[in-house]
Structure 1
Amino acid sequence: MSKEKEWFENEDFWLNYGPIMFDEQQWAQAHGIAEKCIELAGLEKGSRVLDVCCAVGRISVELALCGMNVTGVDITQPFLDAAKESAEDEGVEIELINHDMRTFSSKKKFDAAVNIYNSFGYCDSIEDDIKILKRVHANLRKGGTFILECISRESAIKYFTPGEWFERAGKTVLTDFSVAGDWEGLRSRWILIDKDGTKTDHTFIQRLYSAAELRDILVKQCKFKTAKVYGGFNMEPYDQKLKTMVIVATK
């Protein structure tokens, strides 16, 4: 009996919601973030970098433009098709692999791995989240660096908004956010309305980890040698002024 697919494995969802979630602002920030990742990991040109859950290749393409040897892995083939097109437009080569990061294994070991822009914490169980982190560890060389950036429990509380509406990609978008459990997750409802009135409605929950919880999981359960938490890509302190959560872990 096959396991029922989780929502993020549904390609139709991403075909509808991808253009909304990956907006122009996210693309504009990509080059600077890629440069910061290279700096944080101490990489040189030609370094092998694994982009975990690479989606449409926003970071992968910029890393390749900076001279990195990039492999992007994602479970959604239409995203990989878009990433390939972007790479071709920019004149760079990226290895793109359609695979579930919970089971991904590569013969080559990577100098660094990145998981950027809030693509962690969506599995049905904590155990599956940890499987992803363990696979990252296994695919890094000894001394390799993993950079993880996502919403933490602290940042979700600091920047919480009940929702908004806006126009994007030819659609009217309504969002509604609420707390799941005792701040264990962030429930997000996205309603898309086309010009002809067609409505698409989807709700999902992202599991929220505190920075300390995730740091300890990386070290104690996933066997990273070190894991340091920052409040931004400029290595800002992770305190009340945090912009986002960035964890830099070393194997």
Structure 2
Amino acid sequence: MSDSAPWWSDFFKGPWLDVQRAHDDAERTSAEADFIERVLKLRPGAMVLDVPCGTGRLSLQLATRGYQLSGVDVTPALLEDARRVSRERGLAVTWREGDMRDLPWVGVFDAVFCWWGSFGYFDEEGDRAFLAAAAKSLLPGGRLLLDTHVVETLLPKFRPRDWSQEGEVVLLQDRRWDLERGRIDATWTAVRQGEQHVSHSSIRVYTYRELASLLDEAGFTIEQAYGGLGGEPFAVGSPRLHLVARKRTRS
């Protein structure tokens, strides 16, 4: 990867593909799809955009329920998985390789969701561009669901060093919270069958208020903030933020 290339352009490869695939757990996917379906108040046959879609596990699950899904991701290997599974299951999902900041649709979707902490990869200009693209893609009154971390979810439990296991991959993470930039820079060491793969990430972490301001600028009104899949209200220390916002209609 060149010095000028963004970190995420070279991140999702090697062991990280296995980490992504380890999340394709049927029970977990079904529970998350239940939540998405409920909080977005999807009507039968609704047009839904999953961005970034990764392996397409949520798009595929929602497609089995009769919704019309489109998925966008920048990583070809993940889209190959998505296309293969949709062919095997006979599901008509539209897959598109592309940047989430530059979505081609105008006024097409009833709902857009951004799952698994993908918001914040860019600088603030890039995050604004994504929200603007999502708003442009939605019909008036359409809903956006963001699944993300904010300062209020991370600060109470922040640890500079941690590890976890995803399938056959052990992940070691060294984090640095840059307070001036509002970003968490991390070095990830993925260990699989004795082999190590080192990669780096940098995530912009907003406060709830900062995120609400960005959504307002993009033409959204927040409807509800959840702290988990059980529908509990968001609060300081919640595991994650699931934020539902509605595109304002022009008077």
Could you state the TM-score of these two structures normalised by the residue count of structure 1?
0.88
Tell me the equivalent position of 1:62.
Answer: 61
Tell me the equivalent position of 1:150.
Answer: 148
Q: Distance in 1 between matches of 2:41 and 2:165?
A: 40
Amino acid at match of 2:146: L
Tell me the equivalent position of 1:88.
Answer: 87
Matched pairs, number: 245
Check 1:137–1:168 CA distance in 2 against 1; reply closer, same or farther (3 A cut).
Answer: closer
- SS across alignment from 2:220: coil
Please tell me whether residue 36 in structure 1 is matched to residue 35 in structure 2: yes
Q: Distance in 2 between matches of 1:24 and 1:237?
A: 25
Pick one of 166, 171, 174 that aligns with 1:173: 171
Q: Distance in 2 between matches of 1:153 and 1:175?
A: 18
How far did 1:194 drift?
Answer: 3.9
How far did 1:53 drift?
Answer: 0.6
Q: 1:72·1:96 contact (CA, 8 Å) conserved in 2? A: yes
How far did 1:43 drift?
Answer: 1.0
Amino acid at match of 2:31: G
Tell me the equivalent position of 2:6.
Answer: 6
Q: 1:102·1:132 contact (CA, 8 Å) conserved in 2? A: yes
Please tell me whether residue 115 in structure 1 is matched to residue 111 in structure 2: no
Q: Distance in 1 between matches of 2:237 and 2:7?
A: 33
Tell me the equivalent position of 1:135.
Answer: 133
How far did 1:27 drift?
Answer: 5.3
Check 1:190–1:94 CA distance in 2 against 1; reply closer, same or farther (3 A cut).
Answer: same
Tell me the equivalent position of 2:98.
Answer: 99
How far did 1:48 drift?
Answer: 0.2
How far did 1:23 drift?
Answer: 2.3
Check 1:194–1:98 CA distance in 2 against 1; reply closer, same or farther (3 A cut).
Answer: same
Q: 2:222·2:243 contact (CA, 8 Å) conserved in 1? A: no
- SS across alignment from 1:53: coil
Check 1:249–1:16 CA distance in 2 against 1; reply closer, same or farther (3 A cut).
Answer: same
Q: Distance in 1 between matches of 2:176 and 2:22?
A: 23
How far did 1:228 drift?
Answer: 3.1
Q: 1:183·1:208 contact (CA, 8 Å) conserved in 2? A: no
Q: Distance in 1 between matches of 2:239 and 2:169?
A: 29
Q: Distance in 1 between matches of 2:5 and 2:169?
A: 27
How far did 1:82 drift?
Answer: 0.8
- SS across alignment from 1:14: coil
How far did 1:212 drift?
Answer: 1.7
Q: 2:154·2:237 contact (CA, 8 Å) conserved in 1? A: no
Higher relative contact order (CA 8 A, sep 6+): 2
Tell me the equivalent position of 1:238.
Answer: 234
Tell me the equivalent position of 2:204.
Answer: 207
Tell me the equivalent position of 2:243.
Answer: 247
Tell me the equivalent position of 1:218.
Answer: 215
How far did 1:183 drift?
Answer: 8.0
Tell me the equivalent position of 2:47.
Answer: 48
Q: Distance in 2 between matches of 1:170 and 1:42?
A: 37
How far did 1:182 drift?
Answer: 5.0
Gaps of 5+ in 2: none
Q: 2:7·2:202 contact (CA, 8 Å) conserved in 1? A: no
Amino acid at match of 2:120: G
Check 1:70–1:181 CA distance in 2 against 1; reply closer, same or farther (3 A cut).
Answer: same
How far did 1:116 drift?
Answer: 0.9
Amino acid at match of 2:99: D
